[in-house]
Amino acid sequence: MVIVHVYVHVKAEEVQAFRDAALENARKSVQEPGIARFDVIQQQDDPDRFILVEVYRSEADIVKHKETQHYKIWRETVAEMMAEPRRGVKFTNVYPSDERWD
Amino acid sequence: MVIVHVYVHVKAEEVQAFRDAALENARKSVQEPGIARFDVIQQQDDPDRFILVEVYRSEADIVKHKETQHYKIWRETVAEMMAEPRRGVKFTNVYPSDERWD
């Protein structure tokens, strides 16, 4: 799997709006066949910070995700909510193995 | 859920030994009733860095995990492998909802 953690820091006044937009995007993203998981989590000691935990079956599936309508809407919707630019980091799974992420 | 990301940076020569120890710990940890997931992922552009993605049903389940034999063995085994101290960050789930993490 290709796992992408997207580190997001939003403006304090945009937290609820960001949650709403991220939820909408996650619900649609998990329906893509190339996506095994699309979690959205909020940091407990700093609720302006979120991570999108995106689990793709392949690199090609990342490209496909970025071509979807819901991704484009999300990107547009959250653009002005950021306190600083988002940062994505890529990982490979050690555990569990590929067949056990669904 | 209470989600803990543990950021780990190991010495380059310890990467394989750390993978082995983390795999053993993860396989046992997912059998705890209080743990919904226990992923181990390795950073693509810096393979000395790992994240343990631990998903607990409650704060009490974190305490219980730290009392297990496999946790104690893991902690002892990896102590000398660290390039710098581990750092844990706690999150709450926005998506999916509690009942959908298994």
Q: Find out if CATH 3.30.70.100 is the number for domain A2-46+59-87.
A: yes
Supply A60's token pair.
């090609």
Which residues on B lie below 8 Å from A27 (Cβ)?
95
CB distance B98 to B1 below 8 Å: yes
Please report, to the nearest 10 degrees, the dihedral formed by the alpha carbons of residues B28, B66, B34, B87 taken in order: -90
In whole angstroms, how far apart are CA B53 and each of A33, B2, B4?
23, 11, 6
Task: Quote the minimal CA–CA distance from A75 to chain B in Å.
Answer: 18
Residue A89 has what pLDDT? Answer: 98
Which residues on A lie below 8 Å from B93 (Cβ)?
39-42
Q: Tell me: the pLDDT tens digits for B7-61?
A: 999 999 999 999 999 999 999 999 999 999 999 999 999 999 999 999 999 999 9
This model of the complex carries an ipTM of 0.95
Token match 């649609």: residue? A28
Q: Domain B2-91 adopts which CATH fold?
A: Alpha-Beta Plaits (3.30.70)
Residue B41 CA to residue B22 CA, distance in Å, equals 10
